Amino acid sequence: MCIRVGSNNSQITTVLHGFILSTLSDFFPKIHEVTKCKCNRSCALSVHIDFVGLRAQRQLSGVEQVDLSPQSCDLGSIQNLNELKPGGFYDGLMLYTHALNETMSTSGTRPPGKDVTKRMWNRTFHGVTGLVHLDENGDRETDFALWDMIDTNTSAFQVNTHAGTHEQLTAVPGTDLHWLGGVRPPDVPVCGFKNDNPICLASQWSEPVHTTCWIFKLRLSLCCRRMKLEKELVAQLWRITWEDIQMSNLDKVLRSGSRMTLSLRGSNYGSLMTGDGNLQVFAKTGYYKGNITAIKYTNRKRIELNRKILFELKHMRDVQNEHLTRFIGACIDPPNICIITEYCPRGSLQDILENDSITLDWMFKYSLINDIVKGMLFLHNSVIFSHGKLKSSNCVVDNRFVLKITDYGLSSFRSESDTGKDAHAYYAQRLWMAPELLRMECPPPQGTQKGDVYSFGIILQEVALRRGAFYLEGDPLSPKEIVDRVILGEWPCLRPTMDPQSHSPELGQLMQRCWAEEPTERPEFNHIRLLLRKQNKESRTNILDNLLSRMEQYANNLEELVEERTQAYHEEKRKAEALLYQILPHSVAEQLKRGETVQAEAFDSVTIYFSDIVGFTAISAESTPLEVVTLLNDLYTCFDAIIDNFDVYKVETIGDAYMVVSGLPVRNGKLHGREIARMALALLDAVRTFKIRHRPEQQLKLRIGIHSGPVCAGVVGLKMPRYCLFGDTVNTSSRMESSGEALKIHVSAATRDVLLEFNCFQLELRGEIDVKGKGKMTTYWLLGESNSQ
């Protein structure tokens, strides 16, 4: 297609800018590849002077096809193009002569060249090359024709010879010009012909300015981040003062503390819970801001807060994951240097595995194992990088049965050595350590990632067999022997026993890969996660179903445990009540059980029995303390068995003194005198046949005193309460005992009056004696009881 353009030189330059080339000969200089030439020409537009009208001086009614040789690719051979050159020379000469004549006719003299040149401007005339027009700058405005290739095979062009000097682009009706990019170029380039447009000048500077601003913002961001980091380090948000922690008392710790089971003694090592003399160590707990927390003490006397420790503490606050115990803070107040973390009340994985009352199916086991893998995978990808002390006791379970890993990080904050630990406990904790770390004199406190994989393999064996860490079937070894053989690196390597009946073959292969001797042969935790996902098909079920199943299983175990504990509770309750009934009268104990206050009560008539051993001081001096205790225990055990046959209440024993009363707290009328008299005769008969263990040939001499009268009784004290008797009757009974004789029963006149009513006791008058604090008193000897009543 061809379009004539009537425009000035500026517009011609605009059209040429980026889209239109001056001539095809300039655009394709001597190209010899025909195919490449055709492809390039199809995208090109050619601009030429409109020589068609000059040559024929006629209007073209259609489109003239101009054929070019495809082998030449030289558009300069277009016919009659060179004929314009002499015509242009002629028109220029005519323009000059017209301007020279006009200038000379005006001035009359030979004009300067400058005046002749100005006469040529703003002039229009018809020359041999057509209409000639020069603008105010002396530039000729010429009509141009635009050529567009329509056939790349024949190199045919459409030519439009539309005439006219219109300062606009006019298309020939019925033709379509293929602009490059499909968009017509503007008359004036966006940036101007000299790139002096202020918008473009601003855009030229925008890129370096933007780059500079970006660099400045980046440096400013880094500075702000560094300042923020320094501010956080100085703020010490992790720091907790000891006064802010409310320690739990011992009872609360024993009831709610998480058990950290540890076997401290025993020659055979099958489990951390087996062996003689095991001790359960409870994790200390305390309350911080109203929440119960776990407190782990370090064996350091003081902490120097260097930059390394500050970064470790900050990293601990930043690390947050569902399967890691949350780090709450740390206390560095000597001597209470400790780490405060989230508290998990279900105890450690080791507690659960060693508790035979908890049934674990493989779905539950895989759930616990997957929790460990998720926690370690996050830990290995975090700034902490590795654990170093992974073991079953460092895996705790919260209320939602989610396993969380604890005791990670803070390698510089914790104890630097294991001094002060029992040798058995020291080696027991190293059963999870990788061989390459055991062989190091100073292994890194944070461990290695491959070492964590080895520890995970030992935990897998614990979960699968539930027989303790590093279980060896038929070969009971102590922890020290196991560690020494692992360090030695014997072949085949010493590893825990696997039971194909307890786990799948795939899980056994995973164990072997995890505890491989070469660290490079151990898999990464992301690979372990994929392997476990393939083995545990049930993990693909709904997470809620999995949780409900886990809860149902735990509920069943809990019901059995509750039933067992309920029976144990009732048994212990029965024992406690029996003990309480032995300490206090039954009626008084019932009032205390109901939470009632025991009021002091007055009794009009009771009979009190006092006795002691004559010569007990001499026997004690000639015996060891243990022999004295044995003597009193044997004697009073004999007495306690006898008094159960009578309606009496044992008040207390002080040394060799024995005090019994009848008629309280339950009144029995006047029977109290008869019950005490019969009891005294039975005790006296028992003493006559009683043998002292360390002195079987020596006769034990019992001295008894009895008195009847009114008393007041009540419970004294809240801790270790005692049922005590008050009144003159108690003092008189004591005087009857102290003024009596060995192997005799000394009774007062008041008791004699009570006994006479039964008409069955044999009494002998002793006469008047001087009783300390009482003066003259008539007393009697109780000799025995006759068959008649």
Assess contact for 95 and 132: CB atoms under 8 A: yes
Please give the structure tokens belonging to residue 97.
């002569």
d(CA 38, CA 181) in angstroms, rounded, equals 18
Give the residue ranges of DSSP H helices in 600-748.
Answer: 616-621, 625-643, 671-689, 728-738
d(CA 642, CA 298) in angstroms, rounded, equals 58
**CA dist 422 → 262, 428, 429, 444 (Å):** 11, 10, 11, 22
What is the phi/psi pair of residue 603, to 5°?
-120, 130
Query: What does the DSSP 8-state code read for residue 79?
Result: T
Q: What is the 3-state secondary structure (H, E, C) of 198-256?
A: HHHHHHHHHHHHHHHHHHHHHHHHHHHHHHHHHHHHHHCCCECCHHHEEECCHHHHHHH
d(CA 540, CA 534) in angstroms, rounded, equals 10
Which pairs with CB-CB distance under 8 Å and at least 24 residues apart come from 168-171?
A: 168/6, 168/7, 169/3, 169/5, 169/7, 169/15, 170/3, 170/4, 170/5, 170/6, 171/3
Cβ neighbours of residue 586 under 8 Å, at least 6 residues apart?
none
Assess contact for 286 and 247: CB atoms under 8 A: yes
Residue 5's SS3 state is: strand
Please give the structure tokens belonging to residue 197.
């447009």
Q: What residues are paired with 377 via a beta bridge?
A: none
Query: What does the DSSP 8-state code read for residue 645?
Result: T
At the second CATH level, the architecture of 592-785 is: 2-Layer Sandwich (3.30)
pLDDT at 405: 94
C-alpha radius of gyration, the chain, whole number: 58
Place of tokens 């855009």: 203
Spatial CA neighbour of 631 closest among 652, 616, 642: 616
Helix 749-756, helix 671-689: angle, nearest 10: 110
Number of helical H runs and strand E runs in the chain: 24, 24
Spatial CA neighbour of 47 closest among 128, 143, 173, 191: 143
Give the residue ranges of DSSP H helices in 400-491.
Answer: 423-429, 435-438, 449-465, 479-488
d(CA 272, CA 693) in angstroms, rounded, equals 44
Q: What is the 3-state secondary structure (H, E, C) of 720-774?
A: CCEEEEECHHHHHHHHHHHCCCCCEEEEEHHHHHHHHCCCCEEEEEEEEEEECCC
Please give the structure tokens belonging to residue 633.
């225990």
pLDDT at 16: 35
Sign of the alpha-carbon dihedral angle for 724, 730, 734, 740: negative
Average pLDDT per 10 consecutive residues for the chain, totaling 789 residues: 37 36 39 49 65 43 35 39 71 85 81 83 78 79 72 61 56 68 75 75 69 85 82 82 78 43 33 35 78 88 85 89 92 88 90 84 86 94 91 90 90 64 80 92 89 94 90 84 89 86 87 92 93 74 62 78 87 84 78 77 91 87 88 88 89 86 87 91 89 85 91 80 86 89 90 89 87 86 76
Return the domain boundaries, the chain.
Answer: 3-182, 242-540, 592-785
Which pairs with CB-CB distance under 8 Å and at least 24 residues apart come from 563-571?
A: 564/357
Assess contact for 713 and 724: CB atoms under 8 A: yes
d(CA 89, CA 62) in angstroms, rounded, equals 31
Place of tokens 């030289």: 74
Multiple choice CATH, 242-540, 1.10.10.60, 1.10.510.10, 1.10.10.10, 3.40.50.300: 1.10.510.10
Residue 597's SS3 state is: coil
d(CA 439, CA 441) in angstroms, rounded, equals 7
d(CA 127, CA 120) in angstroms, rounded, equals 14
Cβ neighbours of residue 334 under 8 Å, at least 6 residues apart?
301, 302
Please give the structure tokens belonging to residue 373.
């893998």
**CA dist 582 → 142, 575, 640, 668, 725 (Å):** 134, 11, 10, 20, 17
Please give the structure tokens belonging to residue 655.
């040394």
Query: What does the DSSP 8-state code read for residue 7?
Result: E
